[in-house]
Amino acid sequence: MSAALLRPGRYSATWTSAPRKYGKWSKVISITALQGVSPASINGFRTILTRTDAGQSSLTPRLRPKRLAIDPDLFRIQGTIIPEVLPVTGFFATYTSAYTWLHYTFADQAIGVGSSIIPLLSFVIGLLLAFRTNLAYDRFWEGRKLWANFAALSRNLARLTWASNPKSHTLEDGRRNQPALEAKTALINLTLALAVSTKHHLRHEPGVNYPDLVYLLPPDFVEKVSASSTGKQKPLVPNTIGARNLPMEITHLMSRRLIELRDKLYIDSNLYGAMVFLINDMVQTISSMERVSNTPMPTAYTVHLKQVLGLYCLALPPQLIGTLGVWEIPVVSFAAFSLFGVARIGDEIEDPFGYNPNHLKLDQFCEDLKVELEAITEEAQKDAGTTDEIFEIK
């Protein structure tokens, strides 16, 4: 990293030893501000400089872990599809072993066939697997892009909410305008609640009684939505399905709160239209994520692919027995493990919003968004003294 990225000032370069877990003992550079050496003197050192939380203005290196000669993922099982593929691999290993035993037991009978079928079937299976995997990853990547766009819209809405008409935060006598701060904080809370409710909605989890969601919503709203989910009361939005479409209910409440902020002059009327467009774009993004989640691969294609893979693995032992002998057992087992493993990966990532280790980390995304939205209201937190006082909806 170029020293030009450091803050202007004078620095001193101090050599220290890296911990053993980062590889061999090597020299790394530690930069401390205001101690006699200019930034130009440390150009050329390959180190990553990050600011610490120390009282002084200082920078310390963030060390890269050692590059191992053998990738540890080579022996990794957790988070892979190995446990799910082992049963089918064991089946074809058993089938190949039985076929090999029959071949050598009844060697006087020609139970082997030629290997001319392998190239033809390999070509067809390669096309099917490539199409399946590419389509599944496209859905996974589209889900990630949609959530990134949703997070950007949430940040922009929260930013405009808090930055719009900052004069409304204080009264004429200089005291804090508590109603204005609470109204803006409530809308920011609803922005975060929309993200959390979308996460649960994409995972097909209805209702509002989740620890990361219920505290963000007004109590009267929670009561109405809970009643609508049990059929005791109509949904807040006509022609909707109540709590089973909770993000839609929250966007409706956000629109009402936004109108109230405009009417009370807590936000600029010039920015009101832009904020409405942000909410509209958030609804559009949620609908796109629903499309990814609720549109699975056609059953006919998925079933046909698995059937073709099964027939291919069943046809391998008669074609390989003449050239490989007993070695066909591990070869066929590895082929079944590889082919069904790729197919299983496609099944796993085509809906990226679940709880699987290979799915998108929606819980972490929502937590990161929560931290960012809390930072936006940092000014009000300082005035209130505690975070809980501001981030609690009255």
Which tens digit of pLDDT belongs to each residue from 288-330?
999 999 988 888 888 999 999 999 999 888 888 878 888 989 9
What confidence tens digit (pLDDT) does each residue in 55-105 have? 333 344 555 555 666 777 778 888 888 899 999 999 999 999 998 888 888
| pLDDT value, residue 321 | 83
What value does the mean pLDDT take over residues 176-181? Answer: 87
What confidence tens digit (pLDDT) does each residue in 365-394 have? 999 999 988 888 775 555 544 344 444 444
Q: pLDDT band at residue 256, thresholds of 50, 70 and 90? A: very high
Dihedral in degrees, nearest 10, Cα atoms 64, 51, 391, 168: -140
User: Token digits for 332?
Assistant: 């066929």
Q: Which DSSP string do the residues of 169-218 spell out, in sequence order?
A: GB-TTS-B-HHHHHHHHHHHHHHHHHHHHHHHHHTT--SS--TTTGGGS-
3-state secondary structure 113-171: CCCCHHHHHHHHHHHHHHHHHHHHHHHHHHHHHHHHHHHHHHHHHHHHHHHCCHHHHEC
| pLDDT value, residue 379 | 58
What is the rounded CA–CA span in Å between residue 106 and residue 320?
17
| pLDDT value, residue 96 | 92
| pLDDT value, residue 109 | 55
| pLDDT value, residue 394 | 40
Q: pLDDT band at residue 173, thresholds of 50, 70 and 90? A: confident
Q: Within its chain, how far is the Cα of 192 from the centroid?
A: 16
Return the sign of the alpha-carbon dihedral for residues 137, 206, 275, 383. negative
Question: Are 121 and 335 within 8 A, CB to CB?
Answer: no
Count other Cβ atoms within 10 Å, centred on residue 110. 9
Count other Cβ atoms within 10 Å, centred on residue 371. 8
Residue 12 has pLDDT above 60, yes or no: no
What value does the mean pLDDT take over residues 359-364? Answer: 93
Give the CA distances from residue 235 to residues 6, 187, 240, in Å, rounded to whole numbers and listed in that order.
Answer: 55, 21, 6
| pLDDT value, residue 41 | 44
pTM of the model: 0.74
Give the residue with greater pLDDT, 30 vs 180.
180
Letter string b/e over residues 112-144, b meaning 16 or more CB atoms within 10 A of that residue's CB: eeeeeeeeebeeebeebbeebbeebeebbeebe
Place of tokens 């005791």: 232
Residue 161 has pLDDT above 60, yes or no: yes
Which of 165-169, 217-221, 337-341 is predicted with the least confidence, judged by mean pLDDT? Answer: 165-169
